[in-house]
Chains A and B, each alone.
Chain A
């Protein structure tokens, strides 16, 4: 199963960033999102399409419909500059699949 993300997204401070994750009938999967800052391990920011772990700001939200899942970051600030990865678990193979990753740049 292949998950495709745009290589980069640029957004001005205070605006909204939307990061897409495309996959065939992805709506039939639950999508999870990770934030990875340079030199650090990934951190879970959204699970089960739209749930936030404790400690993750409400500015982070997610949705999943059709062939595209979306991570939305509202009121972006410099601290949100990072790589973001989507991930699904393929029940039939019991494998984890990551998306190609998106670098978010705050202008």
Chain B
């Protein structure tokens, strides 16, 4: 059973880059068929999918954040990471890493494993 753990600074200054990592245990980040995602939740708000990186290294991002987001894999550390540039107070949120591993032939995808989340505040 895969387990995920987020890490990174809890405070980021406006206009700087938010950088978080998600450490994967229980399997390799390069194992086949995984999609490694980042999801955030602003205070008192709903869930917002940010984007994913796949086991092959391909990425896909939420159009609302695409110009500022980079998600990548570090196989040496068995981690995947999120970078969000030019942050503002609106980017303050709890950030979750999550994964799905769709079976061959399935027609939909969902998140069956989540990290505990890490809170990030954007403030000077």
Residues in A lying within 8 Å of B, measured CB to CB = 29-30, 32, 34, 40-44, 47-48, 53, 85, 87-89, 91, 94-101
Contacts and interface: CB of A to CB of B under 8 A. Distances in A.
A94 B60 contact: yes
Interface residues of B, number: 20
Contact of B62 (A34, A89, A91, A95): A95
Nearest to A94: B60
| B interface SS class | loop
Contacts of A48: 108
Contacts of A97: 49
A87 B49 CA distance: 10
A91 B108 CA distance: 8
Contacts of A42: 47, 96, 111, 114
Scoring B47, B96, B114 by chain A CB atoms within 10 A of each residue's CB, the highest score goes to: B47
A15 B115 CA distance: 32
